[in-house]
Structure 1
Amino acid sequence: MDITIDHDRCIGAGQCALVAPAVFDQRDEDGLAVLLADPPGDDQRAAVREAAESCPLSAISVREDRGAAD
């Protein structure tokens, strides 16, 4: 799983950190999203996808590994 955060789009809404706190956090200085686990554990895949879907400006992109099972 490859996760990309577009910091030009991120507004620091924090949905990602709420949905997947083991993978995402927010920077203290501006609230923008940061990755804590790259790549995330297999047990976090569903939460990462949900976090990307919940981002109000679609600043998080998720690309699945080829042949990865859920």
Structure 2
Amino acid sequence: MRIGADRDRCEGHGQCSVVDLDLFPLDDDGFTALGTDEPVPEGEEDVARIGVDACPVRALAVRDE
């Protein structure tokens, strides 16, 4: 599984990082620092889906491999 962010769409709500700051890091301004195609560590798939779903502007996506 992989996750990614559309940084242009991110509004800095930070709901993803509330779920898991390690999977969904923020930059110094509170916007996502997640890349566009990042691997999800084994066993963290459910947490990744919850974090993606927490984004109110749908700036995050999950891709199953």
TM-score tier by shorter-chain length is 0.7 to 0.9
Alpha-carbon distance in 2 for matches of 1:47, 1:21: 11
Q: Identity, % of aligned pairs? A: 37
Q: Secondary structure of the equivalent of 1:4?
A: strand
Is 1:56 the counterpart of 2:56? The answer is yes
**1:1-70 correspondence runs (5 A):** 1-28=1-28, 30-35=29-34, 38-65=38-65
Q: Give the unaligned 5+ runs of structure 2.
A: none
Displaced runs of 4 or more, over 3 A: none
- The answer to which structure has the higher strand fraction is 1
With a CA cutoff of 8 Å and minimum separation of 6, indicate the structure with the bigger relative contact order. Answer: 2
Amino acid at match of 1:64: D
Displacement of 1:22 after TM fit?
2.1
Displacement of 1:27 after TM fit?
0.3
Q: Across the two proteins, how many residue pairs are aligned to each other? A: 63
TM-score norm. by structure 2 comes to 0.84
Cα RMSD for the two superposed structures: 1.5
